[in-house]
Structure 1
Amino acid sequence: MKLRYSALYVAMTLVLAPGTVLAAPQDASSGKAPVEKKIKQLDTVEVSATKRETPLQKTPVAVSAISADTLDKERVMTVQDLTKLVPGLQGTSEGDHGVVTLTLRGIGNDSAKTEYADPEVATFVDGVYTPRAEAAASLLLDMDSVEVLRGPQGTLWGRNSTAGAISFTTAKPDIGGGFYGNGSIEAGNYNQSGVRAAVNLPISSTFAMRVAAVHEQHDGYVDYQNPIGQIPSVDQQRVNYLASGGDPAAFQPINPNDFVHGGKKYNAQDQSAARVSARWKPSDSFLWDISYEYFTDRGTPSMNLMQQPRPGQKFWSTLADVAPYLDRTSKAVRSRMDWNITDGMELTYVAGYSRYSGKSDFDQDGGVNVPTSFTTNGVYQEDRTNYSNYKSYSHELDLKSTGEQTIDWILGAYYAHENNNIRFDIPIMNGTQQGTVSWQGSFIQPEELVDSTAAFGQATWHMSDTWRLTGGARWSHDKRQNRGGINWGWGYNAAYPQLPLSSWQSPADAGFNISQHNDGTYSKSKPTWLVRVDHDLGATGLVYASVSTGYKSGGLQDGGAQYKPETLTNYEIGTKFSFLDGHLTWNSAAYYEVFKNYQLSAPVTYPDGTHGLGFANVGGKTKVAGFESELAYSQADDRATVVLSIIPEKKLGTERYAASNDYYVPTACPPESTISNNCMDITGNDLPHAPDVSLTAIYEHDFVLGNGGRLTPRISSQYQSAQWLSWFNFGNGDKQKAYVRTDLALRYTEPGDKWYVNAYVQNVTDGKVKSSAAGSTLLANGTVAFTSQYLPPRTYGVQLGFWF
């Protein structure tokens, strides 16, 4: 359920996605809804990609601008939902922590699901860097716009924007707009329901507030399988147990009640968010925006489903022995102050504080192997986050030129701090939770500190009316400290009962030994830079060429060992054209990227049998080359958008053997390896989540009815060619085949634009699209059973929206 943000168009410029039609602003004094429809010229869209407001078509950066109207109509509720609107953007589900990791132009990393989180695609909300992408935009509540900047953005946007950055801009209070608001309610299948509302509160001639809230929920998509009929009879269980060498006196039958039969299902939503914003403008030279945001998630994690269900079982079902649990809370304060010091100079101070905490419980084994006795064949693996807490704050000062200058410049200083802690338990039992211990671990990291400091500058020289030269540089220093971290492993001590570790137990009191101490310090500085030239091709065209570098900090892994930072050099040529008096735009970019020390991370097993999260750097050069294009049309009653991404080259570097507990790898690791898993040489493999071709097409048309109302059908369809889901490049189980996924909607807007009704169907064909894969279970027939997380099945519903 989404809002239409017509009320926000009062006294502000809205960044629009291609294909957006804008209604006239409502009358501020009466609060009446808009009645006059206007067509927005696409070449007037403004973006802040260069940290100053510039027309999208005159901004020499590969940036996608997505409006609130498009977010509404495409039902964009999470960061992952943005993927079909942005060339080269992919989102990967990670069930045990309930997070989404992002890949852009083929570059991404799943390490962002841990306390070590450092993504290659940075997320910003109102200019504040947000380490936790899963809480960055809080259901995209009351957004004004979203900009996705592709390619390294290290000079201006800074930390961890190696592959790109996503900038969310929330709707701001309207000082002169009067009292008005909007809202919507919604219902759909899977008992889906939701409500959204936003209201503008004028307090005085210099001060206004805005309040927005949302709640979204639906039942889980995944049903629970009945173990009866799948587990053997008690007599057969006894035979299987004795055949494994078990003690006859210790035999016990499998308890069917150990499997989950009811309660919350996996893949359920139960999320709420609220934001209070304030704007103060005491004079023409000073503006202060500040907001407080609160977000809760009481849904459930997404399940790893068997790609090939057992005979007689539904696809969207699981034989679960761990009930799902998710409890996440995010609180954030964001502030921005702008001073016009002189007619040609402005000072901006951006500050933010966030606190994110979470708990979760997840059935990692996915019910792939049915137990043949209480301690044979099957696996019970619980991935349990007892607690995770992430506190961060940041400060940024920008001093920049304003107005028409021969040289536009900006200077800045940045500081950010994080303090993270986590306890993550993994009980793994043979057969069922009644069985013997296969391995157990408890990872307790009481303090993981991050300090990031930077200074940067960028200048654009207007060499003539049509030629501009830009140069920029940034110096970054990152320091990471792990204090008091301990990894505990099961001690196989006969004095302790073989039971799964409970969340309230101390590992020291339950038969565990210390396997690793995580104490350590990492500290390193790195410069990054940008050189770009752009040229106007008449009044409606632009061409640019740039070379830029990106950088992501190295750090500390389990055991305190260091891994290296990764660096990127991006070569890019782009064009931007406007046609039909600005109603048709066509923006394209070709790029070639070279990575050094590309970081890999995965759960691994060490030589002593303990488990941990291991980091490694790929040797040689990892290379990505591609082309992307966006075509947008908006004229009269028709709007259309086409988004294209082509990535023909995306090869890993050399000299790297990789392992992961999520995959069964049949080859032994080389002698020099520090892990005991079997390994695989991934030299020259394709990067995951990087289809050769991705194409999205969106079209809608307004039919004006006799009463003056409008009926608007909309179709949104995405094609993606086959893509690998891990860097191992295994067979079909590790690949998402080519697919087409289509959404349909039909909206009626009443003549006075006071309310609308929208009916929608998403994933019309009910296609099964994998977003991740794992294959760690070797079946009795010698084959590997693969599991995956999937995009949602077919959903449908109806939405009522209104303005007042």
Structure 2
Amino acid sequence: MHSLYTRLLLAASPLALAVPVAASAQQIADDTAAPTPISTLASAATAGDAIIVTARRREETAQEIPLAISVIGGDTLEELGAFNVQRLQALTPALNFYSSNPRNTAINIRGIGVPFGLTNDGFDQGVGIYVDDVYFARIASATLDFLDVAQIEVLRGPQGTLYGKNTTAGALNITTRRPTFNFEGSAEVTFGNLGFKQAKASVSGPLADDLAARLAISSTSRRGTIYNVATGNYINEQDNLGLRGQLLWEPSDNVEVLFAADFSRQNPECCAQIYVRTGPTQRPLNRQYEALAAAQGYQVVSTNPFDRLTDVDAPLNAGNEIGGASVRVIWDTGPGTFTSISAYRYWDWLPENDRDFTGLPINTASNNPSQQKQWTQELRYSHTGSAYDFLIGAFAFHQAVRTQGLTRFGPAASRWLINPSNALANDPTVLDGLIANNDIRLDNTSLAAFGQFNWKLTDRFSIQPGFRVNYDKKVGLYESVVTNGDGELVTFASTDPRVVQQRGVAAPQRFEPTFSDWNFSFEITATYELADDIHSYATYAETFKPGGVNLNGVPNDAAGNPILAAGSVKPESVTHYEAGVKSQFWDRRVTLNVGAFRTDIADYQALVVNGQFGVQRGYLANAEAVRTQGFEWDLSVRPSSRFNAYVSGSHTDATYRRFPDAPCPPELSGGGAGTPIGAPGAPGTNSPANCDISGQSLPGVSKWVVSYGAEANTPASLLGTEGEIYAGVDANTRSSFSSNPTPSAYTQVAGYTITNFRVGYRSDNGFNVFAWARNAFDTRYFEQLAVPSGNTGLIVGQPGDPRTYGLTLSTTF
């Protein structure tokens, strides 16, 4: 356990990311400046009237950078209530966020990033999260609240020639507010329905002539949106706390040292997925959900998921603690700039789940507490000149993950899991007390050298080649020791009929997968300035995602031995094409950026869900080929300082190009082996061993996503203070998407639109008060649907938040 001193040592740091898409905004410096277009997403750092980004490790305007990038300012995040990545996806159409709990969180860009489904620790994420230059290896950090954020850059496309950790889909570059040598501060409180309470505060100022400090704190709580009739509690609540501290030391004019630390904690009663529907499978009818429930006299508390009721009977918890410390040194040597970032981070996960999703004591515990530590060191040297500039860097990363899994079965398990034709199904003692204890370990090391160069061949034309050399090594362990209710080991050597049934539900297994490989990747970007305010770019990249190891168990052969060939997965080979134009018109009152992309992936790392109940979490496998392609646009207009509007959108066609041996959807699963193959959902028929899903959609990807909004204001005074009254609307529309690794009629999530309103008063001296309504029309939608293990035909899901409303007051000084 970490001492209190160590935990309070953890606080903040500035960050950056890079990816190709179209940048989204301009902001006028004040009301007297020439009107400049602004998306309501872009209250970010400005230079004159231009949004400044650091995606390429130097300050540039968003319009000039040849990358696909959306920029969202900290003030905008606060006004729109986007206090975590889940809320952020409503503002950035190509970004997809899915989470059944903090550990089982996925962030994808343009449909790729991580396999959709329950998390496996043994692979790398394709979307990088950087906070003040520090790479966050655990995607769970994305579920925590943003804290004292200055700006977020969402970068789309492969990143690896400018960043420490290679990412193939994109990155979130989060920059926090720096310590200042002038005293300043801010405070914000929010109250809303469902008991929503949020408070944020920060203070910054000098400690000495060469030393400044900044401290920020955030706390969020909200009653759960699901009522558990079994316990009388509202679950799936919010309970978040965050602290961030920084010290900035400037010993000379050309050296700065930033010490940063952060600590974040979640402790909600969470997270339950609830009954949505049933769909017939090819299992015998007496082994499907309705028959199994009827056999035990069980009836779900509600068949309408938007009643928001459940009766799950196992304890729930989503304890989640993340923290770290870093030191960033920047030294201006004259010819160039040297940067060093040293960081340590930890992540502690203490969950409790009910994996049968019912009020029956089938699974009485399904918990995988986990601890992760990571160490990173990044070195960069950059030079900027009139004819050329370059950046070269080196990166070292080590991650250690230790997980202690526990799955326990209860007295209702025998009737639910054993074939009713077997007399043992009527004996609750067969599976009652059956326990699988898992020891899961990963040691992950990555070393890299990278660089990017920029040659300005003419005043309007330049080329930017980049490279990366990477070494990755992963060493894993998966061991599952199974004991029955009598305390006896369950083994494959036993022929006892009771043990045979027990190991069919929870099979013992041990294997030690390894992976290591070198990779080389490169990219080249060409940019051409068509006119003073019209910039074009084109990018070609060949990159990779490192191979991985399976750490959630793999199928056994007939003798009960793990199939070791499934212990690791090959690297993804990625070929990426992108082109875009960034333009401004009407004296920069209008910004229009458009881009098109195509990414081809060989040996795509996909999640395969095994039909056995005991292999609950699925495992990784390689699909032969995947492709994602489409186009994106970002239009913003600001005819005057009193009105602005934006519309951003994406069309993404993400499909398996070749995956002939994929797992079948639930309607084609659970039946017997042999021929003929039964019709989908025909009980008691035969199922194919696998299914060819070539040409079908990747999970979690809406083909069309559009974000749009507007804000208008008028001058006003309040209590003798000058300011403005404003009103705004923001909305996000997305089309339907598959919510299963293999598309299924049972798990297709319908498209929906979420609309948010706000109206308030902001003064010239930093005071702001506004009322807000999110999901104002109370749209009923699902964030995610899932097929529980066992293939009984049960479909569970997470209803999205209902209408929420409240009041926010904030001030800066």
- Which TM-score bucket, shorter chain as reference? 0.7 to 0.9
Q: More deviation in 73-82 or 449-458?
A: 73-82
Q: C-alpha distance in 2, partners of 1:547/1:437?
A: 56
Q: Is the 8 A contact 1:346 1:401 kept in 2?
A: yes
Q: Is the 8 A contact 2:274 2:305 kept in 1?
A: no
Distance 1:711 1:520, change over 3 A: same
- Corresponding residue number in structure 1 for 2:691: 680
Q: C-alpha distance in 1, partners of 2:364/2:535?
A: 56
Query: How well do the aligned residues superpose, as a CA RMSD in angstroms?
Result: 3.2
Q: C-alpha distance in 2, partners of 1:513/1:310?
A: 30
Distance 1:168 1:356, change over 3 A: same
Q: C-alpha distance in 2, partners of 1:683/1:648?
A: 14
Residue type of the alignment partner of 1:360 = P
Match of 1:418 among 379, 399, 405: 399
1:116 equivalenced with 2:107 (yes/no): no
Match of 1:748 among 761, 764, 769: 761
1:284 equivalenced with 2:253 (yes/no): yes
Q: Is the 8 A contact 2:583 2:592 kept in 1?
A: yes
Q: C-alpha distance in 2, partners of 1:417/1:463?
A: 40
Give the 5 Å matches for 1:40-439.
44-95=50-101, 97=102, 99-108=104-113, 109-110=115-116, 113-136=119-142, 138-175=144-181, 177=182, 179-225=183-229, 260-263=230-233, 265-308=234-277, 310=302, 315-342=307-334, 344-367=335-358, 379-380=362-363, 382-385=365-368, 387-402=369-384, 404-429=385-410, 431=412, 436-437=430-431
Distance 1:22 1:82, change over 3 A: farther
SS at match of 2:319: strand
Q: 1:164: how far off?
A: 0.7
Q: 1:439: how far off?
A: 9.5
Q: C-alpha distance in 2, partners of 1:50/1:743?
A: 33
1:768 equivalenced with 2:780 (yes/no): yes
Residue type of the alignment partner of 1:665 = S
Residue type of the alignment partner of 1:711 = I
Q: More deviation in 513-522 or 714-723?
A: 513-522
- Corresponding residue number in structure 2 for 1:790: 799
Q: C-alpha distance in 2, partners of 1:797/1:124?
A: 31
Q: Is the 8 A contact 1:604 1:677 kept in 2?
A: no
SS at match of 1:395: strand
- Corresponding residue number in structure 2 for 1:697: 708
Q: 1:311: how far off?
A: 5.3
Q: 1:401: how far off?
A: 0.5
Q: Is the 8 A contact 1:487 1:515 kept in 2?
A: yes
Relative contact order, CA 8 A, sep 6+: which one is greater? Answer: 2
SS at match of 1:728: coil
Distance 1:17 1:436, change over 3 A: farther
- Corresponding residue number in structure 2 for 1:530: 523
- Corresponding residue number in structure 2 for 1:630: 634
Q: C-alpha distance in 1, partners of 2:714/2:143?
A: 34
In the superposition, the TM-score normalised over structure 1's length comes to 0.82
Q: C-alpha distance in 1, partners of 2:448/2:570?
A: 19
Q: Is the 8 A contact 2:634 2:649 kept in 1?
A: yes
SS at match of 2:655: strand
SS at match of 2:78: helix
SS at match of 1:203: strand
Deviations 1:711-766 (A, max 9, x none): 111101111111111232111x311212111011112124x434221111111122
Residue type of the alignment partner of 1:723 = F
Residue type of the alignment partner of 1:765 = F
Distance 1:281 1:513, change over 3 A: same
Q: 1:341: how far off?
A: 0.9
- Corresponding residue number in structure 2 for 1:34: none
Q: 1:406: how far off?
A: 1.2
Q: More deviation in 514-523 or 69-78?
A: 514-523
Deviations 1:677-734 (A, max 9, x none): 9643322211112212110101111122255332111101111111111232111x31
SS at match of 1:135: helix
SS at match of 2:740: coil
- Corresponding residue number in structure 2 for 1:242: none
Q: C-alpha distance in 1, partners of 2:705/2:797?
A: 21
Give the 5 Å matches for 1:471-510.
471-483=465-477, 485-490=478-483
Q: 1:659: how far off?
A: 5.7
Q: 1:45: how far off?
A: 1.1
Residue type of the alignment partner of 1:744 = F
Q: C-alpha distance in 2, partners of 1:88/1:206?
A: 42
- Identity, % of aligned pairs? 23
Q: Is the 8 A contact 1:725 1:771 kept in 2?
A: no
Q: 1:432: how far off?
A: 6.4
Match of 1:650 among 647, 651, 655: 655
Q: C-alpha distance in 2, partners of 1:765/1:436?
A: 50
Q: C-alpha distance in 2, partners of 1:358/1:494?
A: 28
Match of 1:712 among 722, 726, 742: 726
- Corresponding residue number in structure 1 for 2:682: none
Q: Is the 8 A contact 1:480 1:523 kept in 2?
A: yes
Q: C-alpha distance in 1, partners of 2:483/2:171?
A: 41
Q: 1:488: how far off?
A: 2.4
Q: C-alpha distance in 2, partners of 1:212/1:513?
A: 47
Q: More deviation in 209-218 or 578-587?
A: 578-587
Residue type of the alignment partner of 1:195 = A
Deviations 1:50-105 (A, max 9, x none): 1111111110011111111221122112112111222311111123x554211110
Q: C-alpha distance in 2, partners of 1:664/1:423?
A: 34
Q: C-alpha distance in 2, partners of 1:156/1:441?
A: 47
Q: C-alpha distance in 1, partners of 2:29/2:72?
A: 13
SS at match of 1:389: strand
How many residue pairs were aligned?
705
Distance 1:301 1:538, change over 3 A: same
Q: 1:316: how far off?
A: 0.8
Q: 1:117: how far off?
A: 4.9
Distance 1:612 1:771, change over 3 A: closer
Q: Is the 8 A contact 1:657 1:669 kept in 2?
A: no
Residue type of the alignment partner of 1:78 = N
Give ranges in structure 1 of 5+ residues lacking alignment: 1-15, 25-36, 226-259, 372-377, 498-509
Residue type of the alignment partner of 1:382 = A
SS at match of 2:799: coil
- Corresponding residue number in structure 2 for 1:255: none
- Corresponding residue number in structure 1 for 2:284: none
Residue type of the alignment partner of 2:185 = G
Q: Is the 8 A contact 1:111 1:118 kept in 2?
A: no
Residue type of the alignment partner of 2:532 = A
Residue type of the alignment partner of 2:89 = T
Q: C-alpha distance in 1, partners of 2:650/2:674?
A: 38
Q: C-alpha distance in 2, partners of 1:460/1:443?
A: 54
Residue type of the alignment partner of 2:804 = T
Q: Is the 8 A contact 1:575 1:587 kept in 2?
A: yes
SS at match of 2:776: coil
Deviations 1:274-301 (A, max 9, x none): 0111111122211111211011111132
